[in-house]
Structure 1
Amino acid sequence: MTSPHPDELLNAVAALPALPGVYRFFDAHGLLLYVGKARDLKRRVSNYFSRSHDGTRIGHMVSKIARLETTVVRSEAEALLLENNLIKTQQPRFNILFRDDKSYPYLRLSASTWVPAPTAGSGEGVSPPDPGHYPRMSYYRGAVDKRHQYFGPYPNAWAVKETIQLLQKVFRLRTCEDTVFSHRTRPCLLYQIKRCSGPCVGFIAPADYAADVRSASAFLRGETQSVLDELERRMMAHAERLAFEQAAEVRNQITALSKVLHQQAMESTTDQDVDILAVRVQGGRACVNLAMVRGGRHLGDRPYFPAHVEEGAVLAAWDDAAAAAPSEAPGAVEPSRSVEQRVLEAFMAQHYTGVPPPPVLVLGAPVDAHLIELLTAQSGIRLHTVFHPREHRRTWLDMAQKNAELQLARLLAEEGSQQARTRALAQALDLPDDALDRLRIECFDISHTAGESTVASCVVFEGHKMQNAQYRRYRIDGITPGDDYAAMRQVLQRRYGKLAQALRDDDGTAQPAQARLPDIVLIDGGKGQVGVAREVFEALGLDVGRIVGVEKGEGRKVGLEELVFADGREKIYLGADSAALMLVAQIRDEAHRFAITGMRAQRAKVRTGGSRLEDIPGVGPKKRARLLQRFGGVRGVAAASVEDLATVEGISAELAETIYRALH
């Protein structure tokens, strides 16, 4: 039997080593189809090409394979890390794919530069307080700096901010930036309402503040009883010295902490850091609900909705079966795990290769013990999984499962509604409704402030939803300020110029994935903007029938918009309650939001001289980072005096003068 695959591919498979690694399958257009890992690359990959897979989803994927790439690694744990990094960044068509959250929010306690001295007094002195002696707590996303303390991750920003408010009530740590701290001459409102101890004006000694920081840190780690014991010792020590005012302050801290603990209704004093994962699959969609317990406190949960659920589950099941029993026929090995288990395993592999796992995982479905071993080896944290929990863990899992059901039901309802809107718009525009999943709409909008910092946005709607990863912004230059027509002409030429050339080169017979024209080009504007778009499309040799303008109705009232066409068709009014108009408004509003946020960022950069700091001779990346960190941003650097600038590590008096002159 002749193989449908090219000889180069089969020869590459035959030459694979029997070593651990990651393999990647590509189609003829270079599109990544599937990423997998293997303990033995040669045996695993050969399984795909040594048997017939006709009439199956495996066969559908295998028939598309035109090219193979592999990477050999030292261990299967390294293969797991590489596999899931590739899945998150490359988004292959046949893997269960979870959206890659770039970062999770943390609570950060900055490092302290204060060192106890034998002659230290009560904290009063002639020099102003140093912000480095009083660590700041703040909400944080991004790379971790080992000098500081980080607590989390938290499921959302709200959980971090609620924890900060809690710590303000009990431990009264500062949240102000260093630049604000350094320029205070009297306490702020937070001191007045007893949410800060006033370190900026010397109302608390560094030693006492450091004790509060230690207590807050212990509380965040779940060591609540030790915190209470330490506070009681401090209160008694103050009382023995007849410092009754200080003793009363500590007593108030104990009362506030006890009240907080009562309000939190902590179910456990033994479970400090736990993740609870529930999974639900329905209607071809899935939801994994992740609930987080940190320091013994239930911080909330977050839902995740994977793509390619059915295809990915089938591929993963066959992949594992073929690896376990390579000599058996594909149909002879029944999947050993359900779709829910496959989805949960995919989530754990992708999530915990980017975020350190807690030591305890409470799971809504059993997972392969081999995966837990690999995650343990990769993270260096010994993981304990619980599938049938009891007591408080059972309550946690029941809550997570209920939330997964509710979130999945909401998603299915929204997708059903969105599909109805897509169908209604296709019918209104006389488009075929047999391929609505591939209907692609690109919408453009222009934003500026009195001609300043003009930015154009392009947002993409495809597959019944907004495709955020495909959004683009265009900085508009070389036009008369405020000329929206010229801005629209420039963005359309830049967006479709190369695409039109690529289509001409292919004679219209082939369109690679990146060279596909949208079915609808939506313009936020009336006849004038549509006329400009028509001129651009005619010059590029593109179909002007794709252009649709959204014209404001009488009095510019919402719901009275009309659609204007570039090919001469009469404009149409969809109706205020039309599902098609709802979709048009959704896409147009998203384009407007994306444009205006880009314009504001560009305007802020221009007005604050965001690039001027980079242009100063002698200020490299490290010095620039130190300046921005010390003064909280470019504006803070510009507001600082020469003497303040010279206090930054690596900034000499001469360089401080140069920076000051450049920013003024």
Structure 2
Amino acid sequence: MNALPWSASIDLAQIPERPGVYVFRDGDGKVLYVGKAASLRDRVRSYRRAGGDGRLMIRFLDQEAKTVEVLVTRTEQEALLLEDSWIKTHKPPHNVRLKDDKSFLMLELRHGERFPRLHFVRAHKRSTASTRAVRVFGPFATASAVRQTLSDLHRVVPLRDCPDTVMEHRSRPCLKHQIGLCSAPCVGYVDAKAYAELVERAARILSGETKELEHELTARMKSASAELDYERAAQWRDRLAALRRTVEGQGVTPKDKVARDVLGLARHADVAVVHRLAFREGRLAESRSHVFKSELPDEELLHQVLTALYAGGARERPVELVLPCAPAERVLVEHLLGGGVELRVPTSGEKRRMLDLAGENARTELLRREKERASEEEALAELAKLLDLDEPPEVIDGFDISNLQGTHVVASRVRFRQGHADRAGYRRFKVRGVEGQDDFASMREVVLRSLKRGVEDGDLPDLVMIDGGAAQLDSALAARDEAGAFEVRMIGLAKARSERRVKGRAKDASEERVFLPGAKEPIELARTSRARHLLERIRDEAHRFAITYHRKERGKITSRLDAIPGLGPKKRRALLTRFGSVAGVEAASIEALAAVPGIGTELAQAILEHLRSA
């Protein structure tokens, strides 16, 4: 699934009630925290609920996170393994890393042995072992379950489990052979060829082909039940469950270090979702959905998808691409990829299970988008009714003002088209004609500039939403009338500040209010209102876009001080605290600058010379 904005207005209905992994990212896309859940929706909801999670880091995570994304898995076991893989790859600052490669149990079959046996290991050294000489199974999250499964495995596949030193010195079969748990290769009761077949059967079971062993355990359970030995039947039932738990996570993380991309596909009407799982160094490095509009057959669609994703160096090319079907004109596609990329269409095994996981996430994203579209249509219809419009507004612009060090002011305009962010319509503004900090005048200026351009280009929105109450709305209305854009409807969105007590602590219980031109009182929107959620998304996006611009401009301004020799971070902060801005520092006298702790007359003179000559 692609990222959802992390804010109070997040639509939790878009997150599936399925097991999986969730990832919080900051505004730059950096991974802040990775977690797993039996129900992704319930887990993410707990972060938004007052008192839902008492961990100290949640407070900081809530402040830093800008987006949350989820990766659906079939089981909690898969979620646990993928969570560990992502944490190792991204090293999120809010995850406490208590695990390393030894966290999960693994099994090795060493084919270099004459009669191979299964070895329990905690860290498989992939770099030192040939993949042909050693076959690895795992990781397994539950050590007790895999040990029980190995015990049951020997009932249908009687491999030896004794060390070489014991096997080489035996002269007669051990007790395990007598009870059917070992084929006794030590005394020649089975030859190398027959034993190799046993090894292959064991490998298939550990890779997930468990029907044979499940049949054996089910038969024993039914037999015990028929004999009214219900306690023993329950034991066999638990062993069957342990077997399924043990192998259910296989295939979600590869056993090798091949750079591999797995593409899952889901389609409905003319919308196709391709979900890409990128594995690097044996770990999941990226999980992302890509949406395409096409009614072409799958083979031709994949041709276009591969060209769009990889041709021209758009992203790092993997060594192997795992696909749901072969693309049309496969030879041409391989040529476009530049050679060295192997295309695979698996029908079984580990790669097929990875492909199934990618396909499941593609279907989840497709379903989410369909629900989102229906929700947005409802929100726009509700908004049209609220504003007494003849039809739902197709284009909505949202404006926000951001102050920069008290003297510099910037603003943003975001555009939503049919309920979706239309980034081609985003605009940034430097407020030019306003002296000092005057949010009302600043709002009037940027709305006027935006609407004037819209009148000239024939590109006006249906609705403008201002972040603010009646006074801000009046400023925007004056700008609209001056621009001659009388057909554009305008509203303001602001909170009615209030608090409620939750477990003895004050929590924000503010209600959103919509201000309409000429109305005596604002309209209060219910928390469940879809129109409210849409307006909040627009307001939050406008704020995010303004803040991003604010930081960029602040970086440019403070860089003028950064270049002054002898002026470190602590002294720069002291100057900006005292004078409010770089402009304030530049306007100060040498005496005033020298009075700031740590500056002195000589440095004050150097500061002014640098700023006034720049």
TM norm structure 1: 0.45
More strand by share: 2
The structure whose Rg is larger is 2
TM norm structure 2: 0.49
